Structure 1
Amino acid sequence: MSENDFNLPPKATPDVMRQRTELAGKARHTLTQTGLPVCREDVSTGEPGVTVRVDPLADGGVLAEWATPEEFTSEIVKILASGVDPSNLPQRLRHYENVQTCMRETILNILASAGFDVERADAHSYGKAVHVRGFDL
């Protein structure tokens, strides 16, 4: 336990963070070559596109995720805040989920085709992100 009486998850070592940062750069470059708009999370402008970020936790890694335009995301948040029946989701919400799922699969397939070791990230922790585990070439 820490002096604050709670445990924080362990952080990755500086060497691991350097490796992840390099891997994230390769993933960004690969995705950019396909014509997809790509940005780093730490310099995000709120524009739509693929966000590639490095998770600093020891069990984290490199994550790539599709970001929709702010107005689309805000619309979905409003729909969810108003309350929805899970058995009868509004069409706009179903569309948003479909876009997120399709873009995750697109990102995953592009990176896998280029030689990256990728998988769907844990949905509970990372939503619709792709976990970039390594580069095999």
Structure 2
Amino acid sequence: MTEHGFDLPPKAPPEVIAQRNALADQACHALAQAGIPVHRIVLGGESEGRPGAEVHVDPLADGGVLVEWNTSPELARAAVNLLAGGVDPSDPPFMLRHAGTVQTCMRAALLEILASARFHVEEADGHTYGSAVHVWGFRP
């Protein structure tokens, strides 16, 4: 228990983190081979927000290797500004629909590219990881 009275989720042991780091490096290599701009975020590092695939390791016991797609800062900023101003969900503005389509298409592309490279992948839990791709390991 922490000083604030609640339990923090358990972290993965160092050997698991080492395995995840190796897997993350291999995923970066596979994406780079496919011509995808890829950025490796070191454990504990912050998102750089650069366009392309961002690969990082979640240190929690039930975490893993995650790949997220970043659009250009211009498109991301436009979507955030629209959301901050309030949006009618039944008729979202073009730029917000476009940003959502880009995220959906790029997640699908990342899933297919990594699966083709023999990684075991799936859509990550949306509540915890948003639109990320979860990389679990290699398929035989």
Q: 2:64 aligns with which of 61, 64, 75?
A: 61
Report 1:46-57 matches (<5 A): 46-57=49-60
SS where residue 57 of structure 1 aligns? Answer: coil
| Distance of 1:100 and 1:4 partners within structure 2 | 36
SS where residue 3 of structure 2 aligns? Answer: coil
Provide the residue aligned with 2:8 in structure 1.
Answer: 8
Provide the residue aligned with 2:102 in structure 1.
Answer: 99
Q: TM-score, normalised by structure 2?
A: 0.93
SS where residue 51 of structure 1 aligns? Answer: strand
Provide the residue aligned with 1:31 in structure 2.
Answer: 31
Deviation sequence 1:32-69 (CA, Å, 0-9, x none): 00111000124764320000000011111000111111
Shift, 1:28, TM fit: 0.2
Q: CA RMSD in A?
A: 1.3
Counterpart check, 1:114 vs 2:117? yes
Provide the residue aligned with 2:18 in structure 1.
Answer: 18
Shift, 1:2, TM fit: 2.6
Q: 2:77 aligns with which of 74, 79, 84?
A: 74
| Distance of 1:72 and 1:98 partners within structure 2 | 12
| Distance of 1:116 and 1:13 partners within structure 2 | 22
Q: TM-score, normalised by structure 1?
A: 0.95
What count of residue pairs does the alignment treat as equivalent?
137
| Distance of 1:55 and 1:70 partners within structure 2 | 24
| Distance of 2:63 and 2:115 partners within structure 1 | 19
| Distance of 2:137 and 2:76 partners within structure 1 | 30
Q: Which moved more, 1:94-103 or 1:64-73?
A: 64-73
Task: Give percent identity, aligned residues only.
Answer: 58
Deviation sequence 1:91-116 (CA, Å, 0-9, x none): 11011000000000000000101100
| Distance of 1:15 and 1:36 partners within structure 2 | 29
